[in-house]
Amino acid sequence: MATHPDLRTAVAIVMAINLAGGIVYVLAAQPTPGFEADPFTRWLVEHRGTALLLAAVAGPLLGVLWYSIWTSLVTWLGRAFGGTGTLRGTFAAFAFAGVPPAALGIPLQVVPAVFGPFAMLAVFPLSLVIGGWGIVLSVFAIRESHRISTGSAVGVIAILTLLVFVVFLVAGIGLMAGLV
């Protein structure tokens, strides 16, 4: 890990990943033949130009916002585990760690558009491998940027993943309660 990571490069990487992912997602969105499209997919198909503009503008900005929030939490928790990392170093480490999974995962979004929606079942095992690799790279990013043990880095990821799960679960229950 570099002593002074280049924050501009890290931000550019995050923006590029989210730009590419958003555009590919919008272009690949299509309803499944024989099934009624969910409202979001229907909107993407009917308003593809607007969706592409939103993906191109909001995607990179929201990506940087999400990475900033996530790496702030990682930095705080990494320090609680005895780490010495900085927010800048953690952001950069996560940005660089996100390149290989994105480079492999984003193109997989095209599979259903080209070969039909059920073709995604064929690449699902590959998606699991790519996701697992992303987790391993995240652990390495925390370990190296905070100079903590691999076990502590796994602990940081596990705690934050559980926290995000609980927040989304509570929000989902709250939304469902509001709909009833």
Q: Minimum mean pLDDT among 45-49, 63-67, 86-90, 114-118: which range? A: 114-118
Per residue in 79-98, pLDDT (tens digit) is 999 999 999 999 999 999 99
Indicate whether 110 belongs to any domain.
Answer: yes
Residue 59 lies in a domain: yes
Q: Kindly state the average pLDDT of the residues 166-175.
A: 91
Rounded to an integer, the average pLDDT of 62-67 is 95
The reported pTM is: 0.83
* pLDDT in the model for residue 148: 97
In a domain, 47, yes or no: yes
Domain that holds residue 79: 7-179
> Residue 93: inside a domain, yes or no?
yes
The count of structural domains within the chain is: 1
Give 35's DSSP letter: S
Nearest C-alpha neighbor of 119 from the set 22, 27, 26, 30: 30
Which residue has tokens 């590419």? 20
User: pLDDT category, 180, cuts 50, 70, 90?
Assistant: low
Are 119 and 111 spatial neighbours (Cβ–Cβ below 8 Å)? yes
pLDDT band at 2 (very low <50, low <70, confident <90, very high): very low
**Is position 1 within any domain?**
no
Q: How does the average pLDDT of the chain come out, rounded? A: 90
Q: Is residue 2 part of a domain?
A: no
CB atoms within 10 A of CB 84: 11
Residues 159, 140 contacting (CB under 8 angstroms): no
